[in-house]
Amino acid sequence: MLLQMLDYLGVAVFAITGGIVASRKQLDIVALLFFATLTGIGGGTLRDLLLGVPVFWVENEWYLLVCFVVSALVWYFAEWIEKLSKPLRWADAIGIAAYSVMGAAKALTVGDTILVAILMGVSTATFGGILRDTIAREPSSIVKPEIYVGAAFAGAGGFVVLVQLGAPQILAAILAASCALILRGGAILRGWTLPGHRIGTGSDPG
């Protein structure tokens, strides 16, 4: 039930990020609708294909309706949304928190191992954004120095470990998603990073 809500939340906020990018690129409403939907359902679609289960939005039409409503809201309220502080990044952060937990949970449900569940959570949480940034030709967040994949990893890993330790699923989900959100929020507000490689050659041709 909570997981179901996390799933709708993840789809909705990723759709918001897609809608914001589309409105910034001044796309028309049909293109905005498509782009927002693509971003909203991208991560979960990859998850379901990899798990070999039916794709969630093909099974349950409500997800598409959520994307449509969100797109309409972004279309009409983009000017207002842009007055918020970094709306794209914050929506993306909430999406990562929701989806990293949800992706890992769904993988555990179909009987996958711990490692697979963690990777599934991380992939699910990041794929929508990768798709959005690739199509819009923006640098993907996963190759920026700020904490990004790390937050998804904390969400997916935290959930899996807590569940393995016997925590109730709902508690594990809340704690893990909060942890992911705090990490990513720190990156947005304070530029938190993990230590990165300091070697970079630059000059090596290949």
Residue 190 binds its own copies, judged by CB under 8 A? no
Q: How far is the CB of 161 from its own copies (least distance, A)?
A: 15
Residue 161 binds its own copies, judged by CB under 8 A? no
Size of the site for its own copies (CB under 8 A): 72
- Alpha carbon distance 80, 57 (integer Å): 29
**Interface with its own copies (CB under 8 A), residue from 2, 135, 174, 182:** 135
Subset of residues 28 to 57 that bind its own copies, contact rule: CB under 8 A = 28-35, 37-38, 45, 49-52, 54-55, 57
- Alpha carbon distance 148, 64 (integer Å): 27
Q: Which is nearer to its own copies, 142 or 167 (CB)?
A: 142
**Interface with its own copies (CB under 8 A), residue from 70, 108, 122, 163:** 122
Nearest in space to 155 (alpha carbons), one of 38, 55, 43, 57: 43
**Interface with its own copies (CB under 8 A), residue from 3, 72, 73, 78:** 78
Buried/exposed 124-155: b ≥16 CB within 10 Å, e otherwise: bbbbbbbbbbeeeeeeebeeeebbbbbbbbbb
Half-sphere exposure of 61 (CA within 13 A, CB side): 0
Helix (H) or strand (E) holding 91: helix 87-109
Residue 109 binds its own copies, judged by CB under 8 A? no
Q: Which two tokens stand for residue 49?
A: 């294909």
Residue 72 binds its own copies, judged by CB under 8 A? no
**Interface with its own copies (CB under 8 A), residue from 153, 155, 159, 177:** 153
